[in-house]
Structure 1
Amino acid sequence: MSEHTAASQEVLRLQELKKSYNVGKPTEVEVLHGLDLRLQRSDFAALVGASGSGKSTLLNLIGLLDRPTSGELYLLGEPTRDMPDMRRTALRGHAIGFVFQFHYLIQAFTALENVLMPLMVARGRPTPQDTERARHLLHEVGLARYEQRKPDQLSGGQQQRVAVARALVMQPALLLADEPTGNLDSQSAADVFGLFRRFNREFGCAVLMVTHDPRLSAQCDRTVTLVDGRIERDERQRAAPAPPAAG
């Protein structure tokens, strides 16, 4: 695959996506109202909106953690709404990486073992090649010297960087980040954001980041604004501004 083809490959497509709760009951409510959205491997996008706008519901659908009521969600070209559960789980495991506001590291495991966890869940005992990949990612996020440390021996920013490495160990096509810098100081937040940017550019991993921080969304190449369950704006920036100064 050429570099141009890889960059332009469609990772995600939403087509008239709707989500309702309490379907068929008097209390039925539609939360997402026919969303259309496309993400390419080269995309680095922020998803923004007020509380209650539907961001969490949309992220759960894109992450294949829930199913839409109608419409379709294509991941790497595959329609997923009626996909069997086992296939959805397998597709989610290899195609999507998740980074959350809380790192959710396993306290009894070392940094290296935490990074290896998705591979162990997918394939059982890690191979030497798996371990080498995890070590390489820890090096890439600046934690090569800390691979044998437990989470409680790491700072908050270091723990989140382990979580980033864990999300990337399966070499996903799409990275979903839900308020990934919400619990970090300014410098650590800038470091984590820089990692997302770097992996997007170097490895063709599309990034969709939910954030309430306007400084972060302003640095993304694209901002998707959700208002009352509808995409109100989908804007691309000509160039991302310089990162905000730490402090």
Structure 2
Amino acid sequence: MPLAAPPSCANPKPVLHLEGLRKAYGVGTPLEVEVLHGIDLTLHGGEFAALIGPSGSGKSTLLNLIGLLDTPTHGEVHVQGRPTVGLNDAERTALRGRSLGFVFQFHHLINAFSVIDNVMMPALLGGAKPDAATRDHALELLDAVGLAMHAHKHPTELSGGQQQRVAIARALMIRPPILLADEPTGNLDSHSADDVFALFRRFNQTFGCAVLLVTHDPRIAARCDRVLELLDGRLVSDHQQSTQA
């Protein structure tokens, strides 16, 4: 069955807006240090952007704030037009569960569960039933990443590149309007990295979901439509580029 783009993912309106975002640690102590210094950023539906910068520039901190895994010291994070700083934990968890997909350098699959159960996990945590429709959608995603034949294996039976493809299928299970990826190719060889990037690009084009991909790999950044550069906690460059992905 071909993957169909849901209407909510095919909208070029802003899906993410950061306004004056600051993050400090050790607030109110002599060791207080600010690592993000007023980030302003808007990401629209269907954009494919790379976030680059040296180690220690604040990329992972910024991604954690965007992913509602942490809260800023100052400023606001709007997800699909909704301000999030004032939300309680339950509200943040619910919004994250229906709006944000995550793929990390280390796939964080649960080895005790089968591949298809790992893919279904975000939907089940969001209240979906483990019924035939949920399993069919998970299998459809596994087929899209070329792993349907491995659905009932366990992650430990797959290669690193295959496990990362499972993680991508899992992130797409909720059809998120925003897909966040933190060094998703950093633990892979160049061939596997190219395969994983091709999947991100395919799902970006199929679903129209916005992709924000943190990478140290200049080859990967060069293939993204927009490149954001973070340096010492400040967004120092934001440019569009012509790509041939």
Distance 1:205 1:8 in 2: 9
1:135 partner letter: L
Give CA-to-partner distance per residue, 1:116-149, whole Å, 9 cap, x none: 1111212164222111110100011011111111
Distance 1:146 1:90 in 2: 30
Q: Which runs of 4+ in 1 moved over 6 A?
A: none
**Equivalent residue for 2:125?**
121
Partner-residue secondary structure (3-state), 1:30? strand
1:72 partner letter: E
**Equivalent residue for 2:101?**
97
Distance 2:69 2:42 in 1: 19
C-alpha contact (below 8 Å) 2:10/2:209 kept by paired residues: no
Q: How does the TM-score come out when normalised to structure 1?
A: 0.94
C-alpha contact (below 8 Å) 1:73/1:80 kept by paired residues: yes
Distance 1:125 1:204 in 2: 26
C-alpha contact (below 8 Å) 2:128/2:134 kept by paired residues: no
**Equivalent residue for 1:76?**
80
Equivalent position to 1:170, from 174, 177, 195: 174
Partner-residue secondary structure (3-state), 1:123? coil
Distance 1:30 1:221 in 2: 30
Partner-residue secondary structure (3-state), 2:86? coil
**Equivalent residue for 1:58?**
62
C-alpha contact (below 8 Å) 1:218/1:241 kept by paired residues: no
Partner-residue secondary structure (3-state), 2:120? helix
Distance 2:160 2:122 in 1: 21
Q: 1:155-166 counterparts in 2 under 5 A?
A: 155-166=159-170
Distance 1:221 1:103 in 2: 25
Partner-residue secondary structure (3-state), 1:51? coil
Report % sequence identity: 59
Give CA-to-partner distance per residue, 1:178-231, whole Å, 9 cap, x none: 110111111111111001001111101110001000000000000000011000
Distance 1:10 1:130 in 2: 29
Distance 1:91 1:129 in 2: 23
**Alignment gaps of 5+ in structure 2:** 1-5
Equivalent position to 2:212, from 187, 208, 215: 208
Q: For structure 1, which segment, 128-137 or 21-30, has the greater mean C-alpha deviation from structure 2 after superposition? A: 21-30
1:128 partner letter: A
**Equivalent residue for 1:10?**
14
Give CA-to-partner distance per residue, 1:61-98, whole Å, 9 cap, x none: 00000001111110000000111110100000110011
**Alignment gaps of 5+ in structure 1:** 243-247
Distance 1:159 1:45 in 2: 23
Distance 2:191 2:32 in 1: 44
Q: 1:218-229 counterparts in 2 under 5 A?
A: 218-229=222-233
Counting matched residue pairs gives 241
Q: For structure 1, which segment, 167-176 or 21-30, has the greater mean C-alpha deviation from structure 2 after superposition? A: 21-30
**Equivalent residue for 1:240?**
243
Equivalent position to 1:112, from 116, 122, 131: 116
**Equivalent residue for 2:195?**
191
Q: How does the TM-score come out when normalised to structure 2?
A: 0.94
**Equivalent residue for 1:245?**
none
Distance 2:132 2:161 in 1: 28
- After superposition, the CA RMSD in angstroms is 1.8
2:243 partner letter: A
Distance 1:201 1:24 in 2: 45
